[in-house]
Amino acid sequence: MYASDVFAAVMYAPDLGISLPVRPWDGSHVVVPITKAQLAALLAENLEEDRGDDLFSLSPLTSPDSTPPPSRPSSPGPSSPVNLTGYDSTPPSSRSSSPSGDQVRRKRRAKAQGHGRRKLQQAANQAAAFGDAAVPVGAQEKYTKSAEPIYTALHTAYSKVTATAFTGLNVSPIDMKQTYAVEELVGENARHRLALIDWDGRTPMVIADLDGTIVGILAGMPEDEDWTAQHQAAAKLLEDARKRCKLPKDSAHHRRGEFTTLRSGFSHGGGSTQPANCSNCKTNQRILDDLTAAEPFRRIAGFGSCTRTPIAVMKTWAPDLHAHYLKIMAKLQQKHQDLKRPFANSVFPSMTFNLGPQTVCKPHRDFANLPFGLCAITALGSFDSKKGGHLVLWECGLVIEFPAGSTILIPSSIITHFNTAIGRTETRYSATQYCRRRPFLMGSPRQASNSIPQVAVI
């Protein structure tokens, strides 16, 4: 099975056109005492240089014209008569210091080339800044072809969203205030008979709906020897952050569960008229700056979006969706230059650090997120993934083992999801990358539909 974009309304590809500011000749010229023979020789020499040195020409090379170039219209000569003996008899000390015509042209050409190189470099820097690195050769085919599909009864074309298709609905077929043990969800004696997915946290798998459209990606983890040490270090950083942060006492009690959270990046909601960076006190902002600068989280962020890893998840599995994110984020940050994404190597504008110490989400939908977008979730901590910490996708009927250090991408706005309970002495944290729907609602055409647009499976 081949993967395509996650039933996204993939509308656009990023505009990568580059305009090179080559300034045209302004018509001015410098009169220099010179013979007709010398003038003809200089014109011929410069013509050859222009043909062979034109950095910005997109047409194929052509042979020189058989006819000589037209001579320049006559212009008033210098006040003193021209010496026709083949050389200038004026003493060197009294000659004009004005640059010759070819020097002026060379200088202008060099300046234009410099502008062009800077523009190209700026475009390259912007691409790198958004994590728009090319997927390694063979990676896309290697992972998408080998990934085992998990078929479900979900029909994403009829997911419950608002009329614009840019907002999910806050509905759930299950009690959203309860925490569930895995024994309540799977097995012969379970109250709810869901399917258990035995996942090792490394092997890529995909979740498909009734139409074969991919609606979830069990991405795995980076193929690095030190990854175990890295994700364990990430868990320790979150534990330390929880102890240092300053939050109201009741902030650890919310609809998603009983755990502390910190948000980084920018968003658009809460009645605001334009996107803004997440507001944090000075202490919490320093903590977030430390987290986003830490190597484990930079690697987690790049793995979920796109960077130079063996499998760049979002760009490998959903290249058109990634391109659409790239276009909207670039447009927003060009218009609002104070906006800051949490990570330079990820296209996601927001990240939530769930600080635990037992991050066990209750059933919920992130209805303010983009319905046809993806949410990248990375599990962290010290827990037995066979017994708890599973990711439950209710409408898909799946209970997925979710080991620490692994990443799963889902459309969190339209699927009710939660975690199973872990042991009392165990710890669990998570890091989640996502995008709210408002930036896309402002940057994309409205859709007069109450269903999620589909993308055919390749």
pLDDT of res. 401: 98
Greater confidence (37 vs 30) lies with 37
Condensed to tens digits (0 to 9), the pLDDT of residues 327-339 reads 888 888 888 888 8
**Given CA atoms 225, 226, 229, 231 in this order, what sign does their dihedral have?**
negative
With tokens 């990634």, the residue in question is 322
Q: How confident is residue 450, by pLDDT bands cut at 50, 70 and 90?
A: very low
Residue 363 maps to a domain: yes
pLDDT of res. 408: 96
pLDDT of res. 312: 66
Q: How confident is residue 109, by pLDDT bands cut at 50, 70 and 90?
A: confident
Residue 283 maps to a domain: yes
pLDDT of res. 63: 41
Residue 8 maps to a domain: no
Residue 156 maps to a domain: yes
pTM of the model: 0.67
Number of structural domains found in the chain: 1
Residue 165 maps to a domain: yes
Both structure tokens of 115:
């502008």
Choose from 17-31, 156-170, 302-316, 327-341 the range with maximum mean pLDDT: 327-341
Condensed to tens digits (0 to 9), the pLDDT of residues 217-272 reads 999 998 888 999 999 999 999 999 999 999 887 777 777 888 989 999 887 666 66
Both structure tokens of 238:
């979150």
State the residue range of the domain holding 150.
131-248+256-434
pLDDT of res. 445: 46
Residue 12 maps to a domain: no
Q: Is the pLDDT of residue 66 over 70?
A: no
Q: Is the pLDDT of residue 76 over 60?
A: no
- The region of weakest confidence among 210-214, 359-363, 368-372, 444-448 is 444-448
Q: Please provide the DSSP assignment of 334-394 as one string.
A: HHSTT---S-TT---SEEEEEEESB--PPSB--TTB-TTS-EEEEEEEE--TTTS-PEEET
Q: Assign 241 to helix, strand or coil.
A: helix
CATH number for 348: 3.60.130.30
Q: Buried b / exposed e across 326-344, counting CB within 10 Å, b at 16+?
A: bbbbbebbeeeeebebbbe
Q: Please provide the DSSP assignment of 180-195 as one string.
A: B-GGGTSSTT-SS-PE
Sheet containing strand 214-220, edge to edge, reads: 148-151, 205-208, 214-220, 407-410, 375-382, 427-434, 350-356, 260-267, 276-277
Nearby residues of 361 by Cβ (< 8 Å), 6 or more positions away: 256, 257, 417, 418, 419
Residue 268 maps to a domain: yes
Residue 206 maps to a domain: yes
Sequence letter at residue 341: R
